[in-house]
Chains A and B, each alone.
Chain A
Amino acid sequence: MSEELISANHAAATAAALAGRANRRGRGFLSGLYPITPSTECMELLCAQDLEKGQVVRVESEHSAMAVCIGAAAAGARTFTATSSNGLAYMAENAIAAALLRLPVVMMVANRTLGPPWNVWADHGDSLLLRDAGWVQLYCADNQEVLDSILCAYRLAEDPRLLLPVMVCQEGFVLSHTVVQTDVPEQEAVDRFLPPLDLRTRLSAEARVLGGIDSPHVTEVHRAQHQDAMARVFDVYGEVQDSFQAVFGRRPPDPVVAHHAEDAETLVISMGAIASTVDRVVDAARARGRRVGSLRVRLLRPFPSGLLARLLRGASRVAVIDRDISLGLGGVLWAEGRAQAPRSALVQGYVTGLGGGDPRPSHVEAILDDLAAREASGEPVLLEAGT
């Protein structure tokens, strides 16, 4: 293990290369990549790596980047791609295909708002576009978590009980371009954590059609199998956490990361890097004797309903902060999470930090004040934090 000063893009590329090399005794590694801000640097760094039985294909579009991963995964290789924003939207058709074909592709998304009008800054709207696509979605709050999550993502994706593609999301620029000290594991340790991929369903010499036509009933069965696999993610992730800790000596965060939640009357739910700002405000409020806590949803798909409901049990007031908006409804996290709060609790949604708006501690304090002053919940509040 060595400490390096790297960005989250760099961490992602490093993790992908480590995972790729770990499959050198398997069928190797292939990555289809196409540049888009702010994930570009991840591509550039991977293109400069010595991959050892691995290659990067510099394709002409994100759509083809995922198609290359589909072909390579169908051939039994470990695969990776990275993208952002409109790149992910353009890739969507093949991202859905990868999931429905149950191929263990891993993708890093450096979150960026969708356009035009063009804006390169962060919100979660791009990856949430694909929340129903059958991918496991992890949202990270720091660079170390990005690196660790990509290694964990391969264990999840390739587990024969799952066979699900995994998307590791991190906010563009906020994390993608922010350089911090990160533990980079040795190849030998990654080799122990990530055994070579043995994809039994891969295309071989046997005459078989991958992706053949489904009748309505077969589609119903395939979706039920996919849903069942999603439900198994929680248990498998627990095993992956244990195994990661045994090899690397640190534990990847839980599907929902609780901060001072145990006795909290007021809980703030958020996702991604905003949670670290929330945690600071919570610490300050605790110092003033307020029973406030924070819940960070790290695993959005499958949605950790049970875990969230348990953690919300004692709360009387809940603020849900979304860095995204489902236009015509409100924040996605709010829409999905509010049902898990106790009936007696007041749950209010706040949307902030869209298109790179920068929610600071003062914004979170304003949210807490608004929540405390409420007699009832109302329509989601859109809180501007941009400059």
Chain B
Amino acid sequence: MTLVLRPGNSNCGGCGMSSALQLFGRAVEERPVQLVVPACCGAVMAGSFPYATLGVPTVLSTFASAAAVATGLSRVARQNEEATRIVCFAGDGGTYDIGMATLSAAAERNEDVLYLCYDNEVYGNTGGQRSSATPAGASTTSTPRGKIEPKKDILGILAAHRIPYAASVSLAHAEDGLRKMRHALDLSGFRFLHVLSPCPTGWKSEPALGLELVRLAVRSGLYPVVEIHEGRRLRINVEPDFSDEALEIYLSLQRRFQGSGIRAADLRPDIDRYWRELRARSGRIVPAERTA
């Protein structure tokens, strides 16, 4: 196992990005990997010059540029017949927002790059402003009364590029996540992994409860755990029980949802609609409606 995240880093306690990197390190094993980290919490984590918190060679890029810098690294590696996996490790701001055009273009060119987005649903480095990954109802420093708009369907956007592989990873389902990370590392072409990444600082939640929050998000259907091959074949990897109670607990354990007073019942219709789409795309015969 490659120790991608070394001890002594400055991440907050309970940081989901740390957990994602721990899992990723297990997936990497002995594979040669180079990372590109745009401006995000990951760049702060990488450490102060000349020290390195990350255990693999890393380039820190400008905010919007991870997928293009990775393109340069990857093309030169292939040109020199090197098997080095080039991996972008980017937050939601650098993926959903400022880096979207760069990401879309690299996906369209089907660059030989694995892009991992750790999504903490907020601009963390700058102290917690809304991004387009922030869910409806969440208060941030720039949406003090709660964000109105729902978050972008990032996996759908990437799947629409018909890239070889796009998948969501649950940190609470480590074996499924590990399998996906290994699969993505070994494929060629553009691969995208989305990791819901609890942020105790931004979510105003207990640091020890991060993985439990992810489990509740998966169980309630809020965070679908799926994989999409070639933009067509969709597989649902974890079957939720669509528990409203789980959704209610998920919301109540995070103070970011308190200001807006958003409740499970407010979210349920959108979750149900999204799951109907997922079922249709997965091609599996399953109940179209949830029964109470």
Chain A residues in the interface with B (C-beta under 8 A): 27-28, 30, 32, 53-55, 57-61, 63-65, 67-77, 79, 93-94, 97, 203-215, 218
Cβ of B49 and Cβ of A214 under 8 Å apart?
A: yes
Q: Name the contact of B102 in the complex, choosing from A60, A210, A212 (C-beta under 8 A).
A: A60
- CB neighbours of A64 from chain B (8 A): 65, 67-68, 71, 101-102, 105
Overall SS of chain B's interface: mixed
B126 is an interface residue with CB less than 8 A from chain A: no
Residue of B44, B54, B75, B77 ringed by the most chain A CB atoms within 10 A: B75
Beyond A64-B65, A212-B60, 18 extra complex contacts between A and B, CB < 8 Å: A28-B79, A54-B79, A57-B71, A61-B101, A67-B61, A67-B68, A70-B69, A71-B36, A73-B72, A76-B76, A93-B62, A205-B57, A208-B57, A210-B59, A211-B61, A212-B47, A215-B49, A218-B48
Q: Report which B residues bind A (CB closer than 8 A).
A: 32, 34, 36, 43-44, 46-62, 64-65, 67-77, 79-80, 101-102, 104-105, 109
Selected contact of B46 from candidates A30, A58, A203, A212, CB within 8 Å: A212
A-B contact pairs, 25 of them (CB 8 A): A27-B80, A28-B79, A57-B71, A57-B75, A60-B101, A61-B105, A64-B71, A64-B105, A65-B68, A67-B61, A68-B75, A70-B65, A71-B68, A79-B72, A205-B57, A207-B57, A209-B52, A209-B58, A210-B57, A210-B58, A212-B46, A212-B47, A212-B52, A213-B48, A213-B49
Which residues from A are CB-within-8-Å of B54?
Answer: 207, 209
Nearest residue, chain B, Cβ from A207 = B55
Among B34, B54, B69, B77, the one with the most A-chain Cβ atoms within 10 Å of its Cβ is B69
Query: B62, B72, B77 — which one has the most chain A CB atoms within 10 A of its CB?
Result: B72
Q: Measured between alpha carbons, how far is A32 from B43 in the docked complex, in Å?
A: 24
Contact B57 A204 (CB under 8 A): yes
Q: How many A-B residue pairs have CB under 8 A?
A: 152
Residues in A neighbouring B46, C-beta threshold 8 A: 209, 212-213
Residues on B with C-beta less than 8 A from A55 are 75, 79
Q: In the complex, A60→B103 CA distance in Å? A: 10
Ranked 9 nearest A-B pairs via Cβ: A71-B72, A67-B68, A60-B105, A72-B72, A211-B60, A75-B76, A64-B68, A67-B65, A71-B69
